[in-house]
Amino acid sequence: MSLSGQSSQSVVPPMTPSLSDSELSDAAEGQSPRGGPQSPSLRSRSQSLIHLSSTSPRILNPLRKLEKKLLQHEVERANERATVYETMPDSTNATHDPPYLAGQPRSEHINVMGAVGERHAPRPQTVVDVAGDLLAVASDVRVQIGSISTGISALRPLGMDGLLTGVSTAVCFSHNADRLWVGTLDGTLFELDVSQFRAKPTHSPRFPEIGRRCRLVIWHSDDQLGRAVSVRGHSTLLAIPPKPCYARVMHGKLWAAWADADGSAGSTGCLRIYDISGTTAVEHPGGETEWSLSKLGRVTAACAIPLDPYWVFLGHETGHVSVWDTKSGAMLNVNRISAHRITAMVGPSRHLWIGGSTGIIEVIDPFTLRGWVIVKRFEGHHGATSSLRLWSVGEDYKIRFWDGCLRDDWIAKMMDATLDKYCTFSSIKIGILTWNVDGQSPTLLDRTNQQNKEVISRFIEALDGPDMLVFNLQEAIDLSDLTLAARTLLFATREHDVTGRYRHWRKTLCEAVDRLLPGSFLRYRTESKLVGLYQVIWWRGDTGHSIEAIDFASFKTGFDEMYGNKGCLATAVTVDDSSLAFVNAHLAAGANHAAARTFDVARYFDANPVFGAGKGEYTAAFRNGGDGTRLLDMDTVFFAGDLNFRVQLPRQEVLDKLDSSPNAIEELLQHDELTVLKKQDPHFRLRDFEEAKITFPPTYKYDHFTDRYDTSEKQRTPSWCDRILWRTDKEKDVKCLFYRQFDADMSDHKPVGAGYVVRTRKVNSLKRQQAYELALRAWVHTEQRLLTTARSYYPPFAQEPDDRGLLSPL
């Protein structure tokens, strides 16, 4: 998939139209291959190479085989990608602005490159820990400590010359930050007194049995004597199998995992849970499950969430997160989070924070009724996120600090919920038409019959004085004409139409609008195009609203996303302090390609960015604190086009119902693929979209210039492929005036049009500031509740050494 403001340039793979031999022969002779009249001839301007060679089986047969192979390959890839994608959490409503701390400059970070040293090539592994204002950085055989507030330049070496002989692999502050523990690759553990910013070993540092004999040493605090955890205190030894790939203490138990290649048979590819709360460590093997650790890959991260003390989350190198029961030790669930390796996890209060090998950090709510939902996804680092504890460290050697309570997101939602307090509202009338014109020239509108000639006029007249018009065309050029499609793909831009077809449609639509809505309409027009897709939008200049098209985007799919014979166009528009997005989509065709359609829809909505970088001047126009770079940052999104969702019934049964049943439409819609997916698939990205009641017969597929459903060799099942949907947070923001099919028979699709009244708003800046201050005061109570939950798991002096400091105060 590509994102761009114009059609991307790339090489066109060979493709042939899905026509029978007789149809191809007719086309080569200038006759209509669809059963229409011979004059005017269809697509007569530019015959494709395959049309011209259709009389030569020597050329035609190999092209047919290549087309079939390409189509099959694309279907297999789409199904494979969709299978993976459908198991991932829903990111439809995720925000993408990084959750900076209140008052923290957005560009602020700590670069530890200076602590590592530029002379190192390659750069050594660097480990970091933070406790309050203290920062410790260990790299190779050097350990430094300093104050975050004074910056990285004030880091002081701890003067461990002669002590630290092995490469540092772990560094950790004690709970009250007066001691620093440093672990090395050779199994050495140091405890240093850093209360005066100097290194003072508190014990004989070497414990060779840790690494060589696979004995785990666990030190305990002494509550009766008031002693914190120290290597000089009480300890227990725990024998475990060699070479665990990951180990962590959570909820008073040690969770250790082994990968297939680690250790001997019987101790590999498994998870073991050790109870270390008593004087004797007891092993509890993890419960059996259909998901083996071998299948999920080695464990690379783990955490618990304070809100639910009964779950533990393990991250895997395959991008999966497995959920485990803390009492039984059984695996409860598996979720695919990413296609990339998970490198860091933490649960500050009620959300699950996950860092990956790409530097992307995702914040997930695992407790919704719909399953896991991504509430925020943002780029934290360039390169993998190696540690995530409300501060994060990446392969870019930068430390960044994040708001684990997501203050800005909470306030943004509160502001959206109280719009009535600081906004005034009005409305505009919008008309939307979608039509797959099957490559036909707009000249056929006037040269065939009366219903084709009047179709645009009937749609505009049905709106009775619209404020905005949106026309969405699919297959505006003949996608089976390789010459025409290639010229468009290689040389077309938003400003330059090499085929002339888009100009012809623009001229036809402009004439209709100018004739029926004279005045100021034509001065305000925006358009965008992709191979076969065309979208043009008009709005009046005398509405009293400030209307502006702020950006455009295009997505290419089909044939490895290179040819782009499917995809969508999107236009973002602001109306006063409201925002709208209009999408013209052409999804994957074929009755058996539902997986490809759902995958494409998910990619459209999950893409970031869709539109250009943040539009600061339109901040008040976007929902939930968004910056306008994504489709669902807009208040209202209209999703229209040839969506290609089919009726899942035999063709003859559909025809019989249409002929005999008075309730045929209602009965057939129960088997409509889009309707079923919205009801049954919790991962389907269009499930929150609304659609007006369908009262018209299926819009596809017709024989050309007839009202007869497809009688060709393929005999497609009649289906509602052409749809118009919308999404908004508030039901009262959109009212549908009509939703109907319009009569026109020059294509194999019927055009579908709808009229809407959309509520828009203007913001009173003074009242908005007052509402913001009220939201801030309400946030204080919510923040205290979240912190109380967090402190129950992360107390100042915790019983579990590895759980310390994940919510370090800053």
Read off the pLDDT of residues 617-641 as tens digits, 9 standing for 90 and up: 556 788 877 788 889 889 999 999 9
- Residues 303-328: b if buried by 16+ CB within 10 A, e if exposed: bbbbbeeebbbbbbbbbbbbbbebee
pTM for the structure as a whole: 0.75
What confidence score (pLDDT) does residue 674 get?
96
Helices (H), ranges, 528-662: 559-562, 594-606, 651-660
Average pLDDT across the chain, whole number: 77
Q: At what angle do helices 594-606 and 57-86 cross, to 10 degrees?
A: 60
Neighbours of 634 (CB within 10 A): 26
154 or 355: whose pLDDT is higher?
A: 355
Query: Taking the domains of the chain in order of start, what are their residue ranges?
Result: 3-88+429-763, 110-207, 242-405+783-810
180 or 74: whose pLDDT is higher?
A: 180
State the Cα–Cα distance between residues 434 and 721, nearest whole angstrom.
11
Q: Does domain 242-405+783-810 sit in CATH 3.40.640.10?
A: no
Asked whether the beta carbons of 160 and 143 are under 8 A apart, the reply is yes
Check whether 241 has a pLDDT greater than 60: yes
120 or 94: whose pLDDT is higher?
A: 94
Q: Is 712 left (phi over 0), alpha (psi -120 to 50) or beta?
A: beta
Check whether 341 has a pLDDT greater than 50: yes
Amino acid, res. 730: K
What confidence score (pLDDT) does residue 574 get?
92
State the Cα–Cα distance between residues 276 and 254, nearest whole angstrom.
7
State the Cα–Cα distance between residues 121 and 748, nearest whole angstrom.
64
State the Cα–Cα distance between residues 178 and 194, nearest whole angstrom.
5
Reported as half-sphere exposure (CB side, CA atoms, 13 A), residue 753 has a value of 20
219 or 765: whose pLDDT is higher?
A: 765
**Three-state DSSP class for residue 631:** helix
What confidence score (pLDDT) does residue 759 get?
96
Determine what percent of the chain is predicted with pLDDT higher than 70: 70
Contacts of 393 (CB under 8 A, 6+ apart): 112, 126, 128, 381, 385, 386, 387, 399
Check whether 769 has a pLDDT greater than 90: yes
**Three-state DSSP class for residue 542:** coil
Residue with tokens 């500050």: 348
Q: What share of the chain is helix, strand, coil (3-state, %, to 5)?
A: 25, 30, 45
Check whether 5 has a pLDDT greater than 70: no
Q: Which class does domain 110-207 fall in?
A: mainly beta
What confidence score (pLDDT) does residue 97 get?
80
Q: Name which of 433, 349, 345, 425 is nearest 389 in CA terms.
A: 345
What confidence score (pLDDT) does residue 656 get?
95
Asked whether the beta carbons of 633 and 627 are under 8 A apart, the reply is yes
The pair of three-digit structure tokens given for residue 240, joined into one six-digit string: 């475990």
State the Cα–Cα distance between residues 742 and 451, nearest whole angstrom.
9
Check whether 209 has a pLDDT greater than 90: no
- In total, the chain counts a number of residues equal to 810
Instruction: Choose the weakest-confidence range: 381-385, 569-573, 629-633, 695-699.
Output: 381-385
**Three-state DSSP class for residue 653:** helix
Inter-residue long-range contacts of 37-44, CB under 8 Å, 24+ positions, other chains counted: 37/448, 37/705, 40/443, 40/444, 40/447, 40/448, 42/440, 42/444, 42/704, 43/439, 43/440, 43/441, 43/478, 43/481
Check whether 41 has a pLDDT greater than 60: no
What confidence score (pLDDT) does residue 731 get?
87
What confidence score (pLDDT) does residue 421 get?
94
Check whether 522 has a pLDDT greater than 60: no
The pair of three-digit structure tokens given for residue 531, joined into one six-digit string: 């191979």
Check whether 593 has a pLDDT greater than 70: yes
Check whether 614 has a pLDDT greater than 90: no
CATH level 2 (architecture), domain 3-88+429-763: 4-Layer Sandwich (3.60)
